[in-house]
Amino acid sequence: MDTDLNANANALLTLSGIGKTYVQTVLQDVSLSLHAGQVLALTGENGAGKSTVSKIICGLEPASAGSMLLDGRPYQPVSRSDAEAHGMRMVLQELNLIPTLSVAENLYLRQLPGRFGWINRRQLEQDARVQMARVGLTNIDPWTLVGELGIGHQQMIEIARNLIGDCRLLILDEPTAMLTHREVELLFIQIARLKSEGVALVYISHRLEELKRVADRIVVLRDGKLVCDDAIAGHSSADLVKLMVGRAADADIDLGGRTLGAPVLRVRELGRQGVVAPSSFAVHGGEIVGIAGLIGSGRTELLRLIFGADRADQGEVFVGDATVAARIRSPKDAVAAGIAMVTEDRKGQGLLLQQSIALNTTLASLPAVSRAGWLDAAAEALVATDYMQRLGIKARDAAQPVAELSGGNQQKVVMARWFYRDCPVMLFDEPTRGIDIGAKFDIYQLLVGLAREGKGLAIVSSDLRELMLVCDRILVMSAGRVVETFERATWSQDALLAAAFSGYLNTPATPATAAN
């Protein structure tokens, strides 16, 4: 006990009995301490309370109970700017940058250096270069428009902006969700640098391999309560999963109970110049087909062509046993033909964030919950409540706005919409991105359940282990082409990766057709 008291006395920030209640209690009696130069990993299922704790620390939400100490003195920020004045900073999953402004302008937007009423561009550039160097961005022109940069560089700019001034604690919320392997390595280098400079970091992620690599300590929340606060070195990934979900995550998925039927989707020479080379493949009823490849290989673009979100230059799409190609010029046409798609950008393309769970769930099937042309709110709520239970969506009720849900629960709402629409063909683009480990296995079971119902699924994922776990076949794309097809008995992670890189080597890979 004396050791704990001494540790808290030397802590940068101490939380004691922190709680948060909206309509329901979402955080209860959370106590922990943070020290300078320490990386604390914060994890737990979606809705466990991770973001709520972070927002309380950074002044975005007031605590309903408990207290905080900063350097041993009472700390209760009334706003984000108040917290930032105390050195508490947070990089959210959704970056807060203005794409039409330059890097330098984004960095110093709130404090542009001026002279005689004009912006001092020389001073702005000088300050920007110094700040960019802190996160390793020495090779980027400060006057480059942020919108011209990749997401990885944008994230580093957001971090650089939060390090301006006296940054004592930096919270990173799912920082690698959209980064390439190279960008992740760059981020880890900067985390090590910040740690050596005495900055405390809170690293929020579901990726346990990353947490074990960068963190000193692990804090696990489950259902709003703290269930673990310990050195991370003493815990295996399996231990952490069990702490997060209250049970061991299944190592295998039961893929049985399915009957492979006739093709429900046939793609014939579908392509778009410069983006996707003419591609052909089929998906059978009851089958799960994975689409693997590096970022930029054309995976998402191929799904968008099938769904009519982008216009194809050539090719045809057949649904079911149709002998005439479906006329798909828009997503509306695709849905009418029996094709559903869950996009990777749930916030920008998948949800009406300010609307209720009920409306978002029934959005693609409004006639089914309408009477005489009027929306039946009771019927809509009944449908949404049913899918909330089936998919394990954590929320107050079906009337809660989707914007108030965690990222993983938002993704489940998007999936609920298409489950309810009941299309025979379902396209999934990164279906478990931003979803915790326990919920991932729930989603996998739901996907297999759809296949058991006779639906054909095509799944794009950056996680090869995910595809290898749930798929019957995996198509690999490289440089815009389908280069190889693997059956379950023939694939390995090394073989899939080799195929994914093949299109970028000096010797072009031979395009493969996968119309089985």
Cβ-count burial 365-397 (b if 16+ within 10 Å, e if not)? beeebeeeeeebeeebbebbbebbeebbbbbee
DSSP code of 280? E
- 110: which residues sit within 8 A by CB, 6+ positions away? none
Q: Which residue has tokens 């076949």?
A: 473
Q: How confident is the model at residue 509 (pLDDT cuts 50, 70, 90)?
A: very low
- pLDDT surpassing 50 at residue 146: yes
pLDDT in tens, 73-119: 999 999 999 999 999 999 887 778 898 999 999 999 878 887 767 88
Per-residue pLDDT at 512? 43
Per-residue pLDDT at 83? 94
Rounded to whole angstroms, the Cα distance separating 446 from 435 reads 14
Residues 468 and 251 sit within 8 Å (Cβ to Cβ): no
CATH topology identical between 2-245 and 260-338+423-516: yes
- pLDDT surpassing 50 at residue 392: yes
Helices (H), 392-508: 407-421, 437-452, 464-470, 493-502
- pLDDT surpassing 70 at residue 249: no
Rounded to 10°, the helix 437-452/377-391 angle is 110
What is the chain's mean pLDDT, rounded?
A: 86
SS3 134: coil
- pLDDT surpassing 90 at residue 229: yes
Per-residue pLDDT at 321? 92
Rounded to whole angstroms, the Cα distance separating 215 from 197 reads 16
Q: Mean pLDDT throughout 241-247?
A: 71
Rounded to whole angstroms, the Cα distance separating 346 from 115 reads 44
| In the chain, domain spans | 2-245, 260-338+423-516, 350-422
Per-residue pLDDT at 453? 92
Q: How confident is the model at residue 145 (pLDDT cuts 50, 70, 90)?
A: very high
CATH number of 260-338+423-516: 3.30.450.40, 1.10.3470.10, 3.40.50.300, 3.40.30.10? 3.40.50.300
**Fold of the CATH domain 2-245:** Rossmann fold (3.40.50)
For the question of whether the overall pTM of this predicted structure is more than 0.75, the answer is no
DSSP string, 179-216: --HHHHHHHHHHHHHHHHTT-EEEEE-S-HHHHHHH-S
- pLDDT surpassing 90 at residue 497: no
Mean pLDDT lowest among 243-247, 269-273, 310-314: 243-247
pLDDT in tens, 281-333: 999 999 999 999 877 788 989 999 999 999 999 999 999 999 999 999 999 99
- pLDDT surpassing 60 at residue 395: yes
